[in-house]
Amino acid sequence: MLCVLLVRFSSIGDILLTTPLVRALARRHPEAKLVYVTKRAMAPLVADNPHLSDVVALEPDEPMRHLARRLRALAPTHGLDLHGSIRSAGLRLLVRCRWSGYGKRKLARSLLIATKLDVYRRRAPGPVAERYFEAARRLDTRPDGGPPEFCLGSGAKDRAAQWLAERGLAGERLVALAPGAAHATKRWPVAHWSALAERLAAAGYRPVVVGGPEDRGLAQQLVGEGAGGGNPVASAAGEFSLQETGALLARARVVVSGDTGVMHMATGVGTPVVALFGPTVERSRCSDRPSSSSASFPTARWLPSWIGRSTVGPAQRRAPPPARSAITAASPISRQRRWRQRWSASSREPRHDARRRALDRVGR
């Protein structure tokens, strides 16, 4: 029996970007046993994925040889190294099966960061979600053009619904804001987030700040400044687990986020996203979309995650510019309205016809 190990230990976005491969493997090999291997903290991201047979979690401080022993008991036939780290390399030595990986282009990335030498322009890489398929080349698996998937359990959905009901937000038009980021160059200035929250509130939406425990201070700063005017900002930062955060994102009309895990979580639950990118090389940027897609002409219904994306400079180098530099009043919502009208017009034709017409518009 075909038994495939998919190994990716972290992080949130990277794990969710492997789910198109999981889905494609399940469809190409419906008889196969697909086992996902990740850290215990990341396991909720794939725990309810219906395409997986099992999720094996690396416990905190667990020796790699113990994890390898558990995996060998599954008698794997193939191993897909989707991480390319020292840890995954050690696992490949300890678990005997047919291993394969994918090209991370570490040298190109290191040169860009250390010397500002952009070698990506010579050979632009494809989206990360598609590059993972290099590891499955022996299994005759191809990308299906679909989005990442973040599957939620009923408990997470109930917890998010309860939290909203307790705060009188159950019937509100929610906009989730994710101001936190691990790196300073990925952070939009707090003054811009505050201005955006005020404009959204004035348009009748309820801003809700999301994030992990490390984002509580930033969230409280937005709440404390009275952002949102008469419609105060609510904070869920640090309140939820990964799945519960996903359930809250699924209830939002739109999510505004930097280049963080929240962006991928929102895409995974099907919520439109306005993604804010700092200084980067577009060809090297981590992308949820297939290589044939366009920010202006989406080729599938999940592509609203890239509609209205904005690029901002390093947060630490800029003072807040005039109001016009912040996202204009309710612009994420107005953009979604325009695309919703286009989708409703195309929804009368079969999906493959709508996709073909969209591809024709971008000149594929």
- Sheet of strand 206-209, all strands in order from the earlier edge strand to the far edge: 234-235, 206-209, 174-178, 254-258, 273-277, 310-311
Segment among 218-222, 235-239, 311-315 with least mean pLDDT: 311-315
Residue 201 CA to residue 227 CA, distance in Å, equals 9
pLDDT digits over 290-346, tens only?
Answer: 433 323 223 223 333 333 333 333 333 333 333 333 344 344 444 444 434 433 443
Structure tokens at 292: 């044939």
Segment among 39-48, 120-129, 313-322 with least mean pLDDT: 313-322
CATH 3.40.50.2000 is the classification of domain 154-361: yes
Residue found by looking up tokens 């599954």 in the block: 74
Residue 30 has pLDDT above 90, yes or no: yes
Structure tokens at 325: 């530099």
Q: Is 3-139's fold the same as 154-361's?
A: yes
Residue 204 CA to residue 2 CA, distance in Å, equals 53
Beta strands 78-81 and 98-100 are: parallel
Q: What is the mean pLDDT of residues 1-28?
A: 97
> What DSSP string runs through 139-169?
GT----SPPP-----HHHHHHHHHHHHHTT-
The CA-atom distances, in angstroms, between 100 and each of 135, 138, 160, 355 are: 5, 8, 39, 32
Residue 347 CA to residue 335 CA, distance in Å, equals 18
Segment among 37-41, 242-246, 309-313, 337-341 with least mean pLDDT: 309-313
Residue found by looking up tokens 């492997």 in the block: 18
The CA-atom distances, in angstroms, between 264 and each of 16, 232, 242 are: 7, 26, 12
CATH 3.40.50.2000 is the classification of domain 3-139: yes
Domain boundaries, the chain: 3-139, 154-361
pLDDT of residue 285: 52
Picking from 63, 62, 61, 71, the residue whose alpha carbon sits closest to that of residue 92 is: 71
